[in-house]
Structure 1
Amino acid sequence: SKCQLARSQALRASARSDSFAVFIPECKADGTYTEVQCHNQTGYCWCSSPDGIPVSGSSVLHLRPNCT
């Protein structure tokens, strides 16, 4: 799936570099993106559509956004 491919590419990129700036998406078992995505190094989380599009205005720092 698109999510699983993006996740595997991000994991490879983060393993290759010293940079912690790589965002690693979280995927559901069916291959879609989870409702909440987080960039662990920056502390930001946001709501995501099933196809990985961030929901505008949903990004929050050090909190879990309400994506319902």
Structure 2
Amino acid sequence: MFWIGIHPDFRGKGLGKNLYSIGLHRLQYDFDAKRYLGATRAENVPMRKVFEANGCVQESISVISLEYSLFG
């Protein structure tokens, strides 16, 4: 469920939480997913709130993140 977002005019209305919930439901029931690993930048507080509102918990695992800049 990468690259899903809410248009700036509609943010702060709970739509992100609802959209994410629908995605999790579809992963579980339509695709038989057992786990979902979500990721966002640490400073992306709104997305972290969406995760938390949908019952996601931060696990104590190490993840390495690599970024490639297209614009040097």
Please give the range of the TM-score, normalised by the shorter of the 2 chains: 0.3 to 0.5
- What TM-score does the superposition give when structure 2 sets the normalisation length? 0.32
User: Which is greater in Rg?
Assistant: 2
What TM-score comes out, normalization by structure 1 length? 0.33
Q: Could you say which structure has the higher helix fraction?
A: 2
Greater per-residue strand proportion: 1
